[in-house]
């Protein structure tokens, strides 16, 4: 985007990344507090059958993810014509309200609904924010622009999630979610002040946006992301119980492990963005290979503190590097439906979130142990690689045409 000073561009990118920080915090803080949520919202079940209560509390993670799946394509398709900055502000207002409701509603069922509602603006925010960031960065730096927005989400896992997890353990999970709501309120102000006006796509129509779903390459990219992140969330959703029941560390060690995951995610996201600018599909294949190795390491060595931390770092890094690569791939294959495709990526990733949390909970509830979700993640790597291979094969038969942001 011409006419903006480098300092103004940096401030705009920082404001967009702050939104990612809030989203990462609201999405991931449940992982570290899942036992607290189960104990408070399902007290009878937790007293009698704590394993089942923890598995059921995983539904809160699934509900948020399903909200993303529903909201991302719906909001993006209906709003592609609207000015991007104004739309971002409406989405941030919705985040703030839904997160406050998550904190104050009294029962498990109502909090479940609130988490679903909180997930609705997630994909649309990231989809629109990454398009704005790519435009601000300019040609040849698209992957880095996407990664900068997503860096807010990964940095949340280094700073926000561990600190708010610690707060939730001491002051209660409801206080933790109120702090998250304040992050969204701050982001609203930052975006209002720092992000320049960007018109929407005035030629966009609902019908044109939905044509993205007629492209086989779009489906292959979406499914690749969903399967890859399904494996990640199968592990991440239940990392708290693994730490306390397998590694035999106390609750106070959970924030430390979350910092390690977040560091891995931050490094992986930035590396994946740079790699995607050079070779998108090559980055996807490398990520799946590293991911499979790290999951195997987690399953074999999580009983030891060092093994746990090293494998969690690599798990987070490999999974996060996949995200900007899949996002860039969608921009390549979506044609004119850029807004919908960018948002649909986050719907796909949260299908993986929902699938991973659900399947991991099923294996735990079946009595297979807290490490059993790791084997779910490994199993999901196989179709992930197969889908990426299918995309390469199809591209050789039907070369892609170039398109712009």
240, part of any domain: yes
237, part of any domain: yes
Please report the pLDDT score of residue 117 as a whole number.
93
The rounded Cα 398 to chain-centroid distance in angstroms is 31
State how far the Cα of 61 lies from the Cα of 119, in Å rounded to an integer. 10
404, part of any domain: no
Cα separation values, 404 from 140, 195, 328, 331, Å: 11, 21, 11, 8
58, part of any domain: yes
State how far the Cα of 121 lies from the Cα of 100, in Å rounded to an integer. 15
- Contact call for residues 102 and 158 (beta carbons, < 8 A): no
State how many domains the chain has.
Answer: 1
Please report the pLDDT score of residue 95 as a whole number.
92
Token digits for 397?
């038969």
Sign for the CA dihedral angle at 82, 86, 91, 93 comes to negative
Please report the pLDDT score of residue 403 as a whole number.
46
* CATH number of residue 209's parent domain: 1.20.1250.20
Residues of the chain with pLDDT under 70: 1-4, 80, 137-146, 199-212, 334-342, 399-405
> pLDDT tens across 353-385, in order?
778 877 888 888 888 888 888 888 888 878 877
State how far the Cα of 163 lies from the Cα of 175, in Å rounded to an integer. 12
State how far the Cα of 72 lies from the Cα of 125, in Å rounded to an integer. 8
State which residues form the domain around 233. Answer: 6-395
402, part of any domain: no
Three-state secondary-structure class, residue 199:
coil
What does the DSSP 8-state code read for residue 49?
Answer: -
Closest CA to 123 of 330, 379, 305: 330
140, part of any domain: yes
> pLDDT tens across 171-202, in order?
888 999 999 999 999 999 998 888 887 765 66
Closest CA to 45 of 60, 30, 33, 35: 35
Query: What's the pTM?
Result: 0.70
The b/e string for 350-369 (b: 16+ C-beta within 10 A; e otherwise) is: bbbbbbbbbbbbebbbeeee
229, part of any domain: yes
403, part of any domain: no
């Amino acid at each position: 985007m011409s006419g903006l000073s480098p300092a103004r561009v940096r401030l705009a990118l920082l404001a967009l990344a702050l939104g990612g920080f809030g989203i990462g915090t609201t999405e991931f803080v449940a992982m570290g507090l899942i036992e607290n949520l189960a104990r408070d919202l399902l007290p009878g079940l937790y007293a009698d059958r704590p394993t089942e209560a923890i598995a059921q509390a995983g539904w809160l993670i699934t509900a948020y993810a399903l909200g993303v799946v529903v909201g991302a394509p719906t909001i993006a398709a209906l709003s592609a014509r609207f000015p991007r900055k104004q739309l971002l502000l409406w989405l941030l207002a919705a985040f703030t309200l839904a997160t406050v409701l998550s904190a104050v509603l009294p029962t498990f069922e109502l909090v479940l609904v609130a988490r679903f509602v909180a997930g609705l603006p997630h994909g649309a925010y990231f989809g629109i924010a990454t398009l704005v960031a790519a435009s601000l960065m300019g040609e040849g730096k698209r992957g880095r622009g996407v990664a900068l927005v997503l860096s807010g989400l990964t940095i949340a896992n280094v700073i926000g999630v561990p600190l708010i997890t610690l707060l939730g353990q001491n002051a209660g999970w409801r206080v933790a979610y109120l702090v998250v709501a304040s992050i969204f309120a701050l982001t609203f102000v930052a975006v209002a002040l720092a992000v320049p006006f960007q018109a929407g796509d005035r030629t966009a129509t609902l019908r044109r946006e939905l044509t993205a779903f007629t492209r086989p390459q779009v489906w292959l990219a979406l499914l690749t992301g969903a399967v890859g992140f399904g494996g990640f969330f199968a592990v991440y959703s239940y990392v708290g119980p693994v730490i306390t029941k397998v590694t035999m560390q106390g609750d106070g060690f959970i924030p430390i492990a979350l910092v390690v995951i977040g560091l891995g995610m931050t490094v992986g996201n930035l590396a994946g963005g740079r790699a995607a600018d050079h070779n998108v599909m090559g980055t996807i294949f490398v990520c799946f290979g590293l991911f499979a190795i790290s999951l195997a390491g987690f399953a074999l060595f999580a009983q030891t503190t060092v093994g746990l931390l090293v494998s969690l770092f690599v798990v987070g890094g490999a999974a996060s590097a996949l995200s900007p690569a899949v996002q860039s791939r969608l921009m390549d294959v979506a044609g004119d439906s850029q807004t919908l495709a960018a948002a649909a990526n986050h719907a796909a990733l949260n299908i993986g979130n929902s699938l991973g949390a659900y399947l991991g909970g099923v294996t735990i509830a079946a009595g297979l142990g807290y490490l059993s979700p790791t084997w779910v993640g490994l199993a999901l790597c196989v179709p992930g690689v197969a889908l990426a291979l299918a995309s390469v094969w199809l591209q050789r038969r039907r070369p892609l045409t170039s398109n712009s942001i």
